[in-house]
Amino acid sequence: MNTTTTAQRRVSLPANPIHARGAKARVLLSSVFGPYARDDEYGSRSLNPMELYHNQVTRVQRGFSLRMFHRSWGLMLIRENIDAPCTLLDFPTLDRFIEELRTIRYDIIGVGAIIPNIAKVRHMCALIRKHQPEATILVGGHVTNYPGIGRIVDADHVVRGEGVAWMRRFLGEREDKPIRHPRIVSGFGTRSMGVTLREKRGDVAATLLPSVGCPLGCNFCATSAMFGGKGSCVHFYESGDELFEVMCGLERDMGVRSFFVMDENFLLHRKRALRLLELMEERGKAWSLYIFCSANVLRAYTIEQIVRLGVSWVWMGLEGKDSQYAKLRNTDTYELVRLLQSHGVRVLGSSIIGMENHTPQNIDEVIDYAIGHDTEFHQFMLYTPIPGTSLYAEHKEAGTLLSPDDYVEADIHGQLKFNYRHPHIPAGEEGEMLLRAFERDFEVNGPSIVRIARTMLQGWQRYKAHPDPRLRSRYAWEARDLAVNFAGALWAARQFFRRRNSILSARIAAVLRDIQHEFGWRSRLAAPLIGRYLALMVNREERRLARKWTYEPPTVYEHNAAMHRILGSRPT
């Protein structure tokens, strides 16, 4: 496996000049402008909101959908790791972006984006040229893999791959300095059942960024392709000791005890993971980890190791029945999911619609296989050749890619249509098949909030009296809302589905009874009191969504210490 450490990245960087002002250059980093959850001429799409879960996981769960926003973590990492004065503008409106260009002079302006937002990037580059013609324009992120990007957007540099080392080099700074980990709340604006949660310090997991890329290199994976493809990845923290030190810092500064580990296959780096486990046990850390991991890598660990490491939630590629990916070879994913859930580990399963062997005749069997896993969450995506991936190269060589004149790039986000000719699925039918998968999962398995409660209860019951106080502490913390808040949510969900889906309503009622049996009078009292309020709110949310209400992130405006000194302001 070809991994790259911080010290080794120097030799792998493409040649690029150093900016004339070096580390004195003023830098503006920006995500693309909103609003996002609507159809417009710049490429915003109502089907592609700035929400991970509502976009491609809980898409049809309506009032029960998990709604939240995630910051632009890559831009935050760059800002934290350059000495030059830097401003970060996240989720700006178009007017707010123009205001920034008119108000403060910058030497370097960088825009990060994904391919569906290429029209926004082009417009933002034009605005920069108009308002700050002397500024050097950088474009980074997945959009840089688009063929001919340099001819489409008016940028001075297209920054591919890992951006921290590139920016340090461009600014004349040392590239081999240790990575400073930013303090990032993993999600914000969390909302479900018509209620926006009040997020107190320590309630929400901190984002942890150990590595980027995945050496498994699945042919459809744009993230793996972006950081070197099969056999490659970049480790920001090579050892378990380094990672533990970072996590202790996040715990201290943010008051957290849970971490959303943004690493495409976290447990694949076995030596690092097991050393982290040793340190957690030595120091008595009852942390919860939410990770991404492939099925065959999970199977290489015992369930005891997974639990002791604090794995509480795992995003796992299920892909599809009879798929040929090595990460699923000789793995019974049904058995694996049930094992994890029996220990309180929630699972987000990811399945593909439109693989080479999918047809209109077998697609319902494909969907039933996926939803049979009954994971707490289920992502469905269209099998899409994204530029830069080996799947894209395969279709290009076969001549099956559609002409760019036949589609709009903003619609190729994995939730609507193909950008190629499928061997069996007629053009235009793929979107309905994907929607059918989401709807079938919701109809059979119900709202994710119900599934979460079911699995958390299993974990609590198994470990509440465990002899290890570290495990008892973690499971008690994770189950802290089961007796009251989850009981109320289940009561409301049972009422909601009583006349809409009696089978599902009965399943929800069974989970509620189990919780009430476990927690006694407190849960029996809270369920109807909180439940009536949530029933009112979820019905109100349903009506709001029927009126095409959308959810948009607020604009975030931040400076690093060097920029604060220039502006005469204080860091918050």
Q: Where are the beta strands (DSSP E) in 148-252?
A: 157-159, 188-192, 195-196, 206-208, 211-212, 232-235
pTM of the model: 0.94
* pLDDT band at residue 2 under the 50/70/90 scheme: very low
- What confidence tens digit (pLDDT) does each residue in 347-374 have? 999 999 999 999 999 999 999 999 999 9
DSSP 486: I
- Radius of gyration, CA atoms only, the chain: 24
Percent helix, strand and coil across the chain, each rounded to 5? 45, 15, 40
C-alpha of 141 from chain center:
15
- Do 290 and 262 form a contact (C-beta atoms < 8 A)? no
Q: What is the mean pLDDT of residues 419-446?
A: 97
- Residue 149: HSE in the Cβ half-sphere, 13 Å Cα cutoff: 27
- Do 470 and 285 form a contact (C-beta atoms < 8 A)? yes
- Give the containing element (helix H, strand E) for 77: helix 73-80
Strand order in the sheet with 27-31: 157-159, 136-140, 108-112, 27-31, 86-90, 556-559
- Do 328 and 317 form a contact (C-beta atoms < 8 A)? yes
Q: What is the mean pLDDT of residues 54-66?
A: 97
Q: Which two tokens stand for residue 546?
A: 């029927």
* pLDDT band at residue 232 under the 50/70/90 scheme: confident
Phi, psi values for residue 404, rounded to 5°: -55, -20
Q: What is the mean pLDDT of residues 519-537?
A: 97
**pLDDT tops 70 at residue 47:** yes
| Residues whose CB is less than 8 angstroms from the CB of residue 393 and which lie 6 or more positions away in sequence, other chains included | none
- Residue 346: HSE in the Cβ half-sphere, 13 Å Cα cutoff: 23
- What confidence tens digit (pLDDT) does each residue in 534-557 have? 999 999 999 999 999 999 999 999
Find where tokens 């937002």 sit.
117
Give dist(CA 66, CA 378) in Å, integer: 12
Please provide the average confidence, as pLDDT, over all residues in the chain.
Answer: 94
- What confidence tens digit (pLDDT) does each residue in 409-421 have? 999 999 999 999 9
- What confidence tens digit (pLDDT) does each residue in 140-158 have? 999 999 999 999 999 999 9
**pLDDT tops 90 at residue 6:** no
Find where tokens 């009126």 sit.
547
Given this model, what pLDDT does residue 571 score?
A: 65
DSSP labels for 401-470?
Answer: BPPGGGS-GGG-SSSS--SB--SSSPTT-HHHHHHHHHHHHHHHH--HHHHHHHHHHHHHHHHTT-S-HH
Strand order in the sheet with 206-208: 206-208, 258-261, 288-292, 311-319, 346-353, 377-382
- Do 426 and 360 form a contact (C-beta atoms < 8 A)? yes
